[in-house]
Chains A and B, each alone.
Chain A
Amino acid sequence: METRISLCIIAKNEAENLRRCLTSVAGAVDEIIVVDTGSTDNTCEIAREFGAKVYTFLWNGSFADARNVSLDQATGDWILYLDCDEELAAGCAEILRRLTSIDDVEGYLVKIINYLGNEGWVETCPDLVFRLFRNRPEYRFRGAIHEQIADVILEKNSKASYRLAEDLVILHYGYLDKQIKEKDKKNRNLNLIEKELQERPQDFLLRYHYGVELFRAERYTEAAFQLTQAANNLDPNTVYFPKLIRYIVLAHQSALEPEKALQAALLGLKLFPNYADLYYYAGLLYLDLKKYKLAQEYLLKAASMPEQPAQYASFGGVRGFRAYYHLAKIAETFLDYEESLKFYITSLRDNPYFKPALERIVQILNPRLNPEYSKVSLEKVFDFSNARAILVMGEIYFHQGAYGLALDYLLRAERMEPLSPETLLWKAICLAQERRYLEALRILDTYTPESHLYPLAKFNKLICFWLQNSKRKVLSLAAELSALGLAEDTQKVVNLFTNTNLSAITLGSDGMALLLDIVKRLLALKETEKAQHFLKCLNPSIRTLHSKSIAQLFYDYGYEEEAALYLKEYLTIRQDGEAHFLLAEIYHERGKFLEAEEHYRYAQEIDPDQPRYYLRLIQLYEKKRRMILEEALLKYPEVDVFEKLLEEAPVT
């Protein structure tokens, strides 16, 4: 006789999710039990639509009680337990039948695929959970965590055997950005587990769950402590153990204890020498500790790991784009741009939507000063066949101030699909930056007062006319803008365009951001005088405060002399490693070695953990040494040793 399967669910205001969940099990189970814990939406109606037996449970603060009500009502031989934000993967019905027809098994660890939404794209993280077990009256949930039922079953029936069923797959959407639950739930879980732990302090599996909940509640030090306790008392062969180790690593890392985290990771690798996540985190921890060589070694190791078993619950990208991204950053730290480009590209190959890598590549190629080169290089490497990729490229160029290139890509994207109002505005700005004012104005005129971009569009019209010296148009646009009721800061910036005699203007951070963006655009247009004029209108002490960012803009567009002056201005108020470094770079390029050396050394003193400060100084010393040798050879051509040393000297 065929076995019968009951699906058990508890739900509260889950109308939307429940439909997906129940649709997925249609035909796979023989009975659906839904226990409603107080929905105010149409959860119950939807459940009935799918033929579920719906029961109401008066919420008493215990998940276990609610879940057990659903078990009490189940009449099947097996229980499949799901949450509303989960569903069964397609094609699981047959697998479910097969699994439940095997005699000597009490329960199954099945595969769950967690969907994580962060950083703008979705990734998945597989794991194992205990969700399929025989329906017996003594098998009941305990505590806040599903998994505890696996322990209960073993307590009741020490001979119970579990199996791994990786082909039965549950999809879990609960970790997607929009679904992440409120903090209350975490605290509620914590309280429940704490109570349970008082009753059973020796239950180390429970302690593990407790540690995980503490971690989720961002109480990292406590989490690390509890998890370590669990690890010291649990059998390393339990299916949770690899994850447990990873949690210990993460908890220490988040508690800002990189040494302890590292120790845990290295210990874990002795037990699970193929666990990519541990290599990956060990790599990151070595990075934290500035041990770059070891960091590189471990990240490479992570990238070389084979497919990870489900119980490792390996995070996406640790064997791929994430590892490569950090490898690239290490190479960049050591000024090895070739190597770093190689790794960034590998990272992007693994995940074409991983924007941080693309941004870094563009930054390295320096499209402001070498537009053609960076364009050609990127075209070789990337596939620009879809609008999204092209648009992303345009966006990155736009933000990095390479307006000509940005325009190219925006136009290409536009040929494939219409641009959004925001992107359209970028296009207008790019056109203005190419001094194609008429086309720019044509776009800017399309924005109506209803659009939230209207003031910005108008402001850009003002800039277009100002660049063409149409004073009257500028004045009238400024008046129109003011009539819109601008923020004080914005108004002050607008005034700069109408009144050339302003001085000692004070701006807040919004105003400064706006002004710096204008300066950037002026520098891209090679309108240095205009840019300098605006900056002179600023209150000197405020300008000094921002002079590092100003210097960076000048430097980015190749105005080194001006950049040096702003850096010196900045250094009168702040001892800053980056400012010293940039100043040193400028001196270095101009062959002023003593001054360059001085500033590299100041940079080192202030921030001793930046390898490039040392590396550039080494390059400087080597260059200097070469020059001395060349000079010596010229003066004493008869002395052989100079020629010999010169031949051996490294070329930097």
Chain B
Amino acid sequence: MKSTITLTMIVRNEAANIENCLNSVYKQVDEIVIVDTGSTDNTVEIARSFTDKIYFYPWQGDFSAARNFALDKAKGEWIIYLDADEELLCASDELKSLVSRDQETEAYLLPINNPTTDFTGVYNRFFVLRLFKNNGSYRFGGKIHEQVIVPQKSVVGIAESPVINHKLLPAKERNRKRGRNLALLKQALAEDPHNNFLQYYLGVEWLTLGKPAQALPYLKSAYHNLTDEYLLFRGPALRYLLVCLQSLGRLDEAICLCLEADLKYPEYTDIYYLAGHLFEEKEEYSLAIKWFTQAVKCGTPPPLYSHLAGTESFLAYYHLGFCLERLGETEKTMDYYVMALEANRKYIYPIYNLFVLLLNKYGAHRTLAYFQEQKYLNNVELALAVAHLFFQAGYGDLARECLESCNIRGNKDEEVKFHLGKYSISSGRLLSGLQNLSEISTTSTFYTQAQLQRTIAFLLEGSFPEARILALELWKNHQTRCHGYVLLNLIRFLERDEMITPPQEIRGMDVLKPVLELLSESDCCLPDPRLRQCLHYWKLRQGLETFLKNISPEGYLHLVEHYQEKSSDLRTLIEYKFGCGGTKI
């Protein structure tokens, strides 16, 4: 007979997450115990559709106490506990067969993936003790970052799956939690000043808050005092300590630490990767290449090492490409950027470097052809990124083509349509641009921007009445009042060659800003010369310049700066392209 399993959770105001979490796991467990510590939203209602074992426990500032309360209510032979912002990636019956795998093991470390950002697919992998026998000897300790206290190490096993996937919180939420954690941790450390785990957690919190100087003593102490018995903590402590030293600019110290650690933990990929990083920052590219190559060779480290996924593949490839580029090895550089993209299409950064390389080597059209051949543009994120790059390089038409061939729609549908419209307009295809923009619904986050682009399209087309209606609408909206005002004046300029002296501010909002935005955007425009519907593009530019001049001396200064930027951008470009800038080479 198979063992029974109880899922325990403590929750508070998790209505947004809890359903997803329970859906991922409810089929794998026999019982669900949920302890609510004071929700004011409908968390409990949602939970009720999964279980009736819901308990209330008044919050007392102690996570362990709440969790132990949940353990008390569990009837299953095994316990798995999750947080509401997690999900279990689990094949059916995988959990059951894991707990009945052998008789000796009483608890399992499970992998947990912590994404670093929400779209690149980069995540940190740690192992955490989340699955254990409900025999009364496993209890939580610690008020925050509470851990299951392990009475006997030999009975703890490691499982590589199922994987717990931690959802990334919105930035605001994340910071709120950090502030709360920091306070709790400080308090706990005051009570227990030699607790290495607390030192570690406090270091990490400071580091993620962007205060490496504060983090350093904690991380140092955690790394030096934790023994290899606690490799689960010592590993990440080392990693964070290296990152911390790097961000403080203490590169040589960090490198020494890497050399030391590399002898002790030769299987630890992340060390090689971080060492590569350090040498890269020192501009020692050949050395950096050696370390990154070693990271790739090393592969995924054994489970006990906390590991940043990708350091053995796409992250290392990306950096290898970067270093080789610095050494002038263009051919190999491209190979590595391509490998990075192949290994993880969600990690889009290499596309920027690849784009610049290709553009200069083969020109814009062949660059697009290359991306199409590689099927990168089937991926909506990549297509949007590449399109943006083309647009900024002044190839609006190719930007449009990027998105036309990108046929995967879905949640990005409106974003694609908006950009398709914008790029079409920038390349003189006003009608199709307007068509794309008109398909964006009024509820879309892109709606206002779309209205702005539509106004410009009408303006460029010479359809002044239509443009005026839209501009008035923008004017009526408090947030786009300045844009509306600028556009109304531009319409008048294009229609009747009149330009007023505008005020510097409208209801406390700066008029300069939208003009400058429009001006730099208009710089990316280059209407297809075969389409003669683009006569107004240059007139629009002229209008924007006149507008700026009329505002104030500051407007003049901005315009002067604008031209300064344009010429220095070009100088940089030819320096990069031809190995020399300026008239004298």
The answer to whether B579 and A601 touch across the interface, beta carbons within 8 angstroms, is no
Q: Which of A595, A605, A635 has the most C-beta atoms of chain B within 10 angstroms of its own C-beta? A: A605
Collect the chain A residues with CB atoms within 8 Å of residue B580's CB. 292-293, 296, 334
Q: How far is it, in angstroms, between the C-alpha of A604 and the C-alpha of B395 when the chains are bound?
A: 11
Q: How far is it, in angstroms, between the C-alpha of A224 and the C-alpha of B315 when the chains are bound?
A: 37
Collect the chain B residues with CB atoms within 8 Å of residue A571's CB. 529
Is B123 among interface residues, defined by CB-CB distance under 8 A? Answer: no
Is B62 among interface residues, defined by CB-CB distance under 8 A? Answer: no
The answer to whether A617 and B570 touch across the interface, beta carbons within 8 angstroms, is yes
The answer to whether B578 and A615 touch across the interface, beta carbons within 8 angstroms, is no
- Whether A336 touches B530, Cβ cut-off 8 Å, given contacts A290-B578, A618-B571, A636-B556, is no
**Interface-located stretch among B76-84, B264-272, B300-308, B561-569:** B561-569
Which residues of chain B from 529 to 571 have any CB-CB distance to chain A below 8 Å in the complex?
Answer: 529-530, 537-538, 541-542, 549, 553, 556-557, 559-560, 563-564, 566-567, 570-571
Q: How far is it, in angstroms, between the C-alpha of A221 and the C-alpha of B568 when the chains are bound?
A: 42
Is B526 among interface residues, defined by CB-CB distance under 8 A? Answer: yes
The answer to whether A292 and B578 touch across the interface, beta carbons within 8 angstroms, is yes
Is B92 among interface residues, defined by CB-CB distance under 8 A? Answer: no
The answer to whether A614 and B574 touch across the interface, beta carbons within 8 angstroms, is yes
Collect the chain A residues with CB atoms within 8 Å of residue B577's CB. 290, 608-609, 611
State how many angstroms separate the Cβ of A409 from the closest Cβ of chain B: 33
Collect the chain A residues with CB atoms within 8 Å of residue B571's CB. 618
- Whether A594 touches B563, Cβ cut-off 8 Å, given contacts A259-B331, A292-B585, is no
State how many angstroms separate the Cβ of B389 from the closest Cβ of chain A: 15
Q: How far is it, in angstroms, between the C-alpha of A636 and the C-alpha of B557 when the chains are bound?
A: 11
Closest to B552 in A: A636
Is B363 among interface residues, defined by CB-CB distance under 8 A? Answer: yes
Is A139 among interface residues, defined by CB-CB distance under 8 A? Answer: no
Collect the chain B residues with CB atoms within 8 Å of residue A621's CB. 563, 566-567, 570
The answer to whether A291 and B526 touch across the interface, beta carbons within 8 angstroms, is no
The answer to whether A602 and B331 touch across the interface, beta carbons within 8 angstroms, is no
State how many angstroms separate the Cβ of A329 from the closest Cβ of chain B: 12
The answer to whether B364 and A605 touch across the interface, beta carbons within 8 angstroms, is yes
Is A65 among interface residues, defined by CB-CB distance under 8 A? Answer: no
Is A642 among interface residues, defined by CB-CB distance under 8 A? Answer: yes
The answer to whether B529 and A614 touch across the interface, beta carbons within 8 angstroms, is no
Collect the chain A residues with CB atoms within 8 Å of residue B566's CB. 621
Q: How far is it, in angstroms, between the C-alpha of A609 and the C-alpha of B570 when the chains are bound?
A: 13
Closest to B331 in A: A259
Q: How far is it, in angstroms, between the C-alpha of A639 and the C-alpha of B557 when the chains are bound?
A: 11
Collect the chain A residues with CB atoms within 8 Å of residue B538's CB. 594-595, 598
The answer to whether A608 and B556 touch across the interface, beta carbons within 8 angstroms, is no
Is A378 among interface residues, defined by CB-CB distance under 8 A? Answer: no
Collect the chain A residues with CB atoms within 8 Å of residue B433's CB. none
Q: How far is it, in angstroms, between the C-alpha of A631 and the C-alpha of B571 when the chains are bound?
A: 25
State how many angstroms separate the Cβ of A290 from the closest Cβ of chain B: 5
The answer to whether B560 and A608 touch across the interface, beta carbons within 8 angstroms, is no
Collect the chain A residues with CB atoms within 8 Å of residue B529's CB. 571, 575, 580, 602
Is B573 among interface residues, defined by CB-CB distance under 8 A? Answer: yes
Which residues of chain A from 595 to 624 have any CB-CB distance to chain B below 8 Å in the complex?
Answer: 595, 598, 601-602, 604-605, 608-609, 611, 614-615, 617-619, 621-622, 624
Is B394 among interface residues, defined by CB-CB distance under 8 A? Answer: yes
Collect the chain B residues with CB atoms within 8 Å of residue A594's CB. 538, 541-542
The answer to whether B563 and A624 touch across the interface, beta carbons within 8 angstroms, is yes
The answer to whether B560 and A645 touch across the interface, beta carbons within 8 angstroms, is yes
The answer to whether B394 and A601 touch across the interface, beta carbons within 8 angstroms, is yes
Contact pick for B549, options A604, A614, A631, CB 8 Å: A631
Is A628 among interface residues, defined by CB-CB distance under 8 A? Answer: yes
State how many angstroms separate the Cβ of A607 from the closest Cβ of chain B: 8
Q: How far is it, in angstroms, between the C-alpha of A594 and the C-alpha of B534 when the chains are bound?
A: 13
State how many angstroms separate the Cβ of A233 from the closest Cβ of chain B: 25
Collect the chain B residues with CB atoms within 8 Å of residue A618's CB. 567, 570-571
Is A413 among interface residues, defined by CB-CB distance under 8 A? Answer: no
- Whether A628 touches B564, Cβ cut-off 8 Å, given contacts A290-B578, A331-B585, A605-B395, is no
The answer to whether B526 and A636 touch across the interface, beta carbons within 8 angstroms, is no
B interface, how many residues as a size bin?
35 or more
Q: How far is it, in angstroms, between the C-alpha of A632 and the C-alpha of B552 when the chains are bound?
A: 10
State how many angstroms separate the Cβ of B252 from the closest Cβ of chain A: 32
Closest to B557 in A: A641
- Whether A642 touches B578, Cβ cut-off 8 Å, given contacts A618-B567, A621-B570, is no
Is B103 among interface residues, defined by CB-CB distance under 8 A? Answer: no
Q: How far is it, in angstroms, between the C-alpha of A611 and the C-alpha of B542 when the chains are bound?
A: 27
Collect the chain A residues with CB atoms within 8 Å of residue B542's CB. 594
The answer to whether B556 and A632 touch across the interface, beta carbons within 8 angstroms, is yes
State how many angstroms separate the Cβ of A631 from the closest Cβ of chain B: 7
Is A197 among interface residues, defined by CB-CB distance under 8 A? Answer: no
Is B583 among interface residues, defined by CB-CB distance under 8 A? Answer: yes
Convert B185-218 into 0s and 1s, putting 1 for each residue whose CB lies closer than 8 angstroms to a CB of A: 0000000000000000000000000000000000
Contact pick for A611, options B526, B530, B553, B574, CB 8 Å: B574
Q: How far is it, in angstroms, between the C-alpha of A200 and the C-alpha of B549 when the chains are bound?
A: 81
Q: How far is it, in angstroms, between the C-alpha of A309 and the C-alpha of B523 when the chains are bound?
A: 57
Collect the chain A residues with CB atoms within 8 Å of residue B101's CB. none
Is B584 among interface residues, defined by CB-CB distance under 8 A? Answer: yes
The answer to whether B585 and A336 touch across the interface, beta carbons within 8 angstroms, is yes
Collect the chain B residues with CB atoms within 8 Å of residue A580's CB. 529
Q: How far is it, in angstroms, between the C-alpha of A635 and the C-alpha of B574 when the chains are bound?
A: 35
Q: How far is it, in angstroms, between the C-alpha of A611 and the C-alpha of B360 when the chains are bound?
A: 13
The answer to whether A336 and B563 touch across the interface, beta carbons within 8 angstroms, is no
Q: How far is it, in angstroms, between the C-alpha of A635 and the C-alpha of B551 when the chains are bound?
A: 12
Is A625 among interface residues, defined by CB-CB distance under 8 A? Answer: yes
Closest to A629 in B: B560
Contact pick for A628, options B363, B395, B556, B567, CB 8 Å: B556
State how many angstroms separate the Cβ of B475 from the closest Cβ of chain A: 28
Q: How far is it, in angstroms, between the C-alpha of A203 and the C-alpha of B559 when the chains are bound?
A: 71
Collect the chain B residues with CB atoms within 8 Å of residue A619's CB. 583
The answer to whether A615 and B574 touch across the interface, beta carbons within 8 angstroms, is yes
Convert A296-321 into 0s and 1s, putting 1 for each residue whose CB lies closer than 8 angstroms to a CB of B: 10000000000000000000000000
Collect the chain B residues with CB atoms within 8 Å of residue A605's CB. 364, 394-395, 526
Collect the chain B residues with CB atoms within 8 Å of residue A296's CB. 580, 585
Q: Which of B359, B559, B563 has the most C-beta atoms of chain A within 10 angstroms of its own C-beta? A: B563
- Whether A611 touches B578, Cβ cut-off 8 Å, given contacts A335-B583, A595-B538, A598-B538, is yes
Q: How far is it, in angstroms, between the C-alpha of A614 and the C-alpha of B397 when the chains are bound?
A: 21
State how many angstroms separate the Cβ of A396 from the closest Cβ of chain B: 27
State how many angstroms separate the Cβ of B254 from the closest Cβ of chain A: 35
Collect the chain B residues with CB atoms within 8 Å of residue A595's CB. 538
Which residues of chain A from 570 to 593 have any CB-CB distance to chain B below 8 Å in the complex?
Answer: 571, 575, 580
Q: How far is it, in angstroms, between the C-alpha of A619 and the C-alpha of B556 when the chains are bound?
A: 20
State how many angstroms separate the Cβ of B523 from the closest Cβ of chain A: 10
State how many angstroms separate the Cβ of A447 from the closest Cβ of chain B: 49
State how many angstroms separate the Cβ of B369 from the closest Cβ of chain A: 15
Is A92 among interface residues, defined by CB-CB distance under 8 A? Answer: no
The answer to whether A632 and B585 touch across the interface, beta carbons within 8 angstroms, is no
The answer to whether A622 and B556 touch across the interface, beta carbons within 8 angstroms, is no
The answer to whether A334 and B585 touch across the interface, beta carbons within 8 angstroms, is yes
Closest to A291 in B: B579
The answer to whether B364 and A625 touch across the interface, beta carbons within 8 angstroms, is no
Collect the chain A residues with CB atoms within 8 Å of residue B331's CB. 259
State how many angstroms separate the Cβ of B314 from the closest Cβ of chain A: 26
The answer to whether B570 and A614 touch across the interface, beta carbons within 8 angstroms, is yes
The answer to whether B530 and A575 touch across the interface, beta carbons within 8 angstroms, is yes
With contacts A296-B585, A336-B585, A605-B364 known, what are 15 further pairs, Cβ within 8 A? A294-B579, A331-B585, A334-B584, A594-B541, A595-B538, A608-B359, A611-B577, A615-B583, A621-B563, A625-B564, A628-B559, A632-B553, A632-B557, A636-B556, A642-B553
Task: Please give me the 10 A-B residue pairs with the lowest Cβ-Cβ distance, nearest first.
Answer: A293-B579, A293-B580, A632-B556, A621-B567, A625-B563, A291-B579, A594-B538, A292-B578, A618-B567, A636-B553
A sample of 5 inter-chain contacts (CB < 8 A) reads: A296-B580, A334-B584, A335-B583, A571-B529, A618-B567
Residues of A within 8 A of B (CB): 259, 286, 290-294, 296, 330-331, 334-336, 339, 571, 575, 580, 594-595, 598, 601-602, 604-605, 608-609, 611, 614-615, 617-619, 621-622, 624-625, 628-629, 631-632, 635-636, 639, 641-642, 645
